[in-house]
Amino acid sequence: MIHFNARSAWSIYLHELDRARRTALQSIVAPLLSTMLYFVVFGAAVGSRMNSGLDGVDYGAFIVPGLLMLTLLSESTSNGAFGIYMPRFTGAIYELLSAPVGFGETLAGFVGAAATKSLVLAAIIMGTARFFVDYQVVHPFFVLGFILLVSSSFSLFGFILGIWAKSFEQVGMVPALFVMPLTFLGGTFYSVDVLPEPWRSIALVNPMVYLVNGLRWCFYGKADFPVIVSLAMALGFLTICVVIIARIFATGWRLRS
């Protein structure tokens, strides 16, 4: 029999959103500002002289999904990680561990809140991007679905990171040293098709390439790869994260002594 206490999950969810509200400057304004700077430099200033490599899409519009993904992946990972790392760090996790909540409620609360923050951030970035570049969305519901899928996956990944980490440095290290550089090199600013060999083949090993292209397809209906490949990658990553977290809860690794 599957137990799920919706009220407990809702409490965790609201508690996490309240924490985000208190840190809005860090979790909303800072990433929004840096993304806007990218739009100014690469979209408005340099973009008019660049070829996107995607038929019928201006360079300024071409980079919107990539920049959106760049911010979403970093923020989802950080939000998911800090959500669980902070109570571990302060000791407040005792309350969660002694409460009648399990794997389902904890994930729904923490990851749901992290994904919600990412969605809000995505909406703000997309709205603000309109001031700098002209873009259109061919599949708006796919955009919403894909953002939700990727945000949830990387929030789960962040949750694992927050349980694994033994210091603030480790929490901040993975998004800064792995997630952001890989997304940067994952076709945020260019189509992998314009890369010469062997760089194109090397780029295909980077999983972020498929995620960026998936969102680009949702925006413009065209990308370097079929959208099904991107969807499979995202779903696969989500499944791996869920299995790992289920295992963590079953064993109590880094949670219960």
Interface contacts to other proteins, rule CB under 8 A: 3, 5, 7-8, 10-12, 14-15, 18-19, 22, 86-87, 90-92, 94-102, 252, 256-257
- CB-nearer residue toward other proteins: 3 or 166: 3
Give the contacts of 116 (CB within 8 A, at least 6 positions apart). 13, 17
Q: How far is the CB of 105 from other proteins (least distance, A)?
A: 9
CB nearer to other proteins: pick between 56 and 100: 100
Instruction: Compute the least distance from the CB of residue 14 to other proteins, in Å.
Output: 8
C-beta closer to other proteins: residue 196 or 257: 257
* Minimum gap (Å) between residue 26 Cβ and other proteins: 13
Between 56 and 257, name the residue whose CB sits nearer to other proteins.
257
Residue 26's φ and ψ, nearest 5 degrees, are: -80, -40
The DSSP output letter for 167 is: S
Q: Which two tokens stand for residue 13?
A: 């969810």
Half-sphere exposure at residue 16, Cβ-oriented, CA atoms within 13 angstroms: 31
Q: How far is the CB of 253 from other proteins (least distance, A)?
A: 10
Query: 108: closest CA among 222, 206, 230, 11?
Result: 11
Neighbouring residues of 14: CB distance < 8 A, sequence distance ≥ 6: none
